[in-house]
Structure 1
């Protein structure tokens, strides 16, 4: 009966992904994480090539803590604490909850591969060919010199520490005392080694091999073609992926082929197994396969080759192009909505995110919510929740803007003819009070108009992005959209909305911003598409202080003598010299006019620039600034011009630059 039960479990169908809607839950700039993360519950620990280690909250991608070593990091590994190494030869033991450095050990040689954890300690190999064993307190238990260059980090299996070497030997050392247990002459290891019960799996060039853990002898070997770049296993099957873009399932007992599946073009691939699924990274992105039959369940293009795809509690983490992505099943935030709308957001015809709006009944009216995601260059989520009466007149509002670790919250309340608004950011609180009448939150305007059959010609609206009241004039009339009858509304200056009589929004078009919001089914709205209009600077990278208006770094191959005027920072290292020149505005900026006049590069008195400025000069100073920003954002393509510095006039004429 036990055997029957085990076979039933092994052959049981894995829950299908087809019933779930997966989407991009978040992404953030990480600067190329070289190695897969170590995860524990809802926290993932990630090390980047820039020398930072992050503890990320998987739900939102927010950093709980960050540790910076200043050098390329290898790792992390996780067992009671976080272990990472760097190319300076340091091994760090960090507290998982805070990132506090518990101990540091200086090793002989660079640490270029992640440490490995296993009973009874942690193991790390250096570029000098030294294999170390440490306990949790950082005490060295033993070390051995490996007579060949290590090809990857150690793997722990069955009381042995396995290290593949450049001489074609896979060496196994006793985890207790470092004694050499066996050497297997398998050839150059290109994938693994990976523990699989009483076997060790490895890719060796074009061969998939299984070695006996007891003596290192070859249990079976099968030629797959291409170069084996990844290996993993389940209880009864071994999985391999090759540089030819094929994934293979082999019987664990004898290496007999079970299935194979084409997963992409030629390139470097990685593979991980979890929960009856295979997670594969490759030159085009990430793919999920069924481990039982090999069919492709889901896949995402990342625009750049994916370095790894690691399953975690909320989905799969993917590293590509310097960004860290989390793809996973979408969890609805709405419960029993009276109505809801899904739409995709497009900028210049390219999808850059989605919008979800819904309403739920409340004792005094409705709770109206909106959730908008923009993934054009990073990942920005904007969410609002408003308490309204039955005609969508505002009572209270709360919202937040979140991007990576940056968070801005807003609150507003209408009471006795006053709008009390508050915005909170890092160490900043801004409060405003306005005398107003009844207000409609801007994201519920069309629903409000539908209550009175679109009879209103002017409505007092709370612009939730600026958190200020504005009066919007409405002009409506019959129209068609995609051959279906509807209403067309002109809202304020330059905003056109197509809607049904019920108030359901079908399309929103802003010609000045080149932005379109179009109603689509939920699955289509949530479908990820790599951005085709990247910005020059990722939006989740901290920019330098605004007063620093110019910085130039010069590097000389030899030291030179330079007079100093207090704006130079000089560093000397190994016979070279680096000089950093900074131009800043004075602390007193009450009279900045002399810094804003025309220059060789900023031709503010040129007729073409004056003509454009006059066109954008309507309204108060804030409105003029917004018009200028909108115009530049819509007409100028962000572009670094390393070969030639473009002046303001050249940027205007060519429509590109910075």
Structure 2
């Protein structure tokens, strides 16, 4: 059972005092849950495959101990290992485009627009590479876990304290900083919501999604995704979990342990929200949104209105990754390294294959392929047939 992956981070002295007692109680509960009474993972179901998953290519880097994110742009897939190795591959063939070595272990990686790649080290250094060649480094004022976003010749970085900074990708010039006033005193130490929609930068600020002008850092819209009702700051943590899922002109996102919601980005408004206590990101397309709760029960909702399409209870306590949608299929990886392929229509299992270990980050779909990076550092490019 992983506890530290979602541990809260104190942002003030008052929060630190509250965090002490709250984490003590939470740690005791976690230890109890991880003891002899810990629920056993549901056994693998008997399966007569109705589809197939084939490995198109695979590449190996060093192992991944944190939640490092894959990036895909312009037909290039970029990945990284915890010890700072960064590599870009042709998305279709797996041919190596370039390889680089960051100076230090990584806490957040990797963001890329197909040319520039950005990572953050455990020493809080933002390092940027141009097709594998180091170009600049900037010391950041705080810890970063969310992978940087590289877009429009800009690099955007979101720190654990929810502050967001914009830099010029070419020369490292600091452009602006944004942090929503009156935020919560605690933040969640896991990958947050940071993305782009047309000419708007999307950032999570607690349980709110804020749209920013990427050139100035000024606010275009600010939408509340949900209101937590806990009795203390720890229980009220509801940070938006990344990566967000795009569905045409909408984005769907999870608020930690609170809800799943879809927002209309053209209007900057909430379309719908449904309660679900989960910790992993969701997947979405124009037809459905899929997410797992804290016990690994999968639910699919209609993207247009949030009505439930189907539920699947057969993966309980198997430690599911964030799901991905590839065509008419839903893919999800469990903690034992099994990749399950489900029908998006009714949730039945169509195929299953075994990878070399559990997924290190949310699976990524691009170029009509499914990309998965595992804890052992293998990047798989898979095709669903």
Tell me the TM-score range normalised by the shorter chain: 0.5 to 0.7
Matching of residues 454-533 of structure 1 within 5 Å:
none
Counterparts of 2:267 and 2:148 in 1: how far apart (Å)?
26
Following superposition, the deviation at residue 192 of structure 1 comes to 0.9
The match for 1:270 among 267, 281, 285 is 281
Following superposition, the deviation at residue 254 of structure 1 comes to 5.8
Counterparts of 1:294 and 1:250 in 2: how far apart (Å)?
11
Q: Does 1:289 align with 2:290?
A: no
Equivalent residue for 1:123? Answer: 118
Equivalent residue for 1:194? Answer: 195
Following superposition, the deviation at residue 247 of structure 1 comes to 2.1
Equivalent residue for 1:339? Answer: none
Instruction: Quickly say closer, same or farther: Cα 1:209–1:75, change in 2 above 3 A.
Output: closer
Instruction: Quickly say closer, same or farther: Cα 1:295–1:222, change in 2 above 3 A.
Output: same
Residue 258 of structure 1 aligns to a residue in which SS? strand
Deviation string for 1:229-264 (max 9, x for gaps)? 3344445544332234422234435654432223x3
The match for 2:256 among 232, 240, 243 is 243
Counterparts of 1:175 and 1:245 in 2: how far apart (Å)?
35
Deviation string for 1:151-198 (max 9, x for gaps)? 310113443221111344101112232221210013557731121223
Following superposition, the deviation at residue 298 of structure 1 comes to 3.0
Residue 164 of structure 2 aligns to a residue in which SS? strand
Counterparts of 1:95 and 1:159 in 2: how far apart (Å)?
21
Deviation string for 1:210-237 (max 9, x for gaps)? 3233322233334422303334444554
Question: Unmatched 5+ residue regions in structure 1?
Answer: 1-33, 35-58, 331-352, 355-372, 380-402, 406-658
Q: Does 1:88 align with 2:83?
A: yes
Instruction: Quickly say closer, same or farther: Cα 1:95–1:314, change in 2 above 3 A.
Output: same
Deviation string for 1:6-34 (max 9, x for gaps)? xxxxxxxxxxxxxxxxxxxxxxxxxxxx9
Counterparts of 2:57 and 2:210 in 1: how far apart (Å)?
41
Equivalent residue for 1:299? Answer: 311
Question: Unmatched 5+ residue regions in structure 2?
Answer: 6-50, 229-237, 357-385
Q: Does 1:258 align with 2:271?
A: yes
**Alignment RMSD (CA, Å):** 3.4
Q: Does 1:279 align with 2:290?
A: yes
Following superposition, the deviation at residue 130 of structure 1 comes to 2.4
Equivalent residue for 2:208? Answer: 207
Higher relative contact order (CA 8 A, sep 6+): 2
Matching of residues 59-208 of structure 1 within 5 Å:
60-72=52-64, 74-79=68-73, 80-96=75-91, 99=94, 101=96, 103-118=98-113, 120-136=115-131, 138-186=132-180, 188=187, 191-208=192-209
Instruction: Quickly say closer, same or farther: Cα 1:329–1:280, change in 2 above 3 A.
Output: closer
Q: Is the 8 A contact 2:209 2:223 kept in 1?
A: yes
Q: Is the 8 A contact 1:194 1:232 kept in 2?
A: no
TM-score, length-scaled by structure 1: 0.38
Instruction: Quickly say closer, same or farther: Cα 1:111–1:296, change in 2 above 3 A.
Output: same
Matching of residues 383-422 of structure 1 within 5 Å:
none
Equivalent residue for 2:14? Answer: none
Q: Is the 8 A contact 1:229 1:268 kept in 2?
A: no
Counterparts of 2:195 and 2:173 in 1: how far apart (Å)?
20
Residue 311 of structure 1 aligns to a residue in which SS? strand
Instruction: Quickly say closer, same or farther: Cα 1:196–1:102, change in 2 above 3 A.
Output: closer
TM-score, length-scaled by structure 2: 0.61
Following superposition, the deviation at residue 70 of structure 1 comes to 4.0
Instruction: Quickly say closer, same or farther: Cα 1:77–1:229, change in 2 above 3 A.
Output: same
Following superposition, the deviation at residue 268 of structure 1 comes to 0.8
Residue 193 of structure 2 aligns to a residue in which SS? strand
Q: Is the 8 A contact 1:130 1:145 kept in 2?
A: yes
The match for 2:239 among 185, 206, 228 is 228
Q: Is the 8 A contact 1:205 1:228 kept in 2?
A: yes
Counterparts of 1:234 and 1:98 in 2: how far apart (Å)?
27
Instruction: Quickly say closer, same or farther: Cα 1:142–1:321, change in 2 above 3 A.
Output: same
Instruction: Quickly say closer, same or farther: Cα 1:259–1:139, change in 2 above 3 A.
Output: same
Q: Is the 8 A contact 2:253 2:282 kept in 1?
A: yes
Q: Is the 8 A contact 1:282 1:307 kept in 2?
A: no
Larger radius of gyration: 1
Matching of residues 9-28 of structure 1 within 5 Å:
none
| Structure with the higher fraction of residues in strand conformation | 1
Counterparts of 1:244 and 1:404 in 2: how far apart (Å)?
28
Counterparts of 1:158 and 1:177 in 2: how far apart (Å)?
14
Counterparts of 2:150 and 2:107 in 1: how far apart (Å)?
18
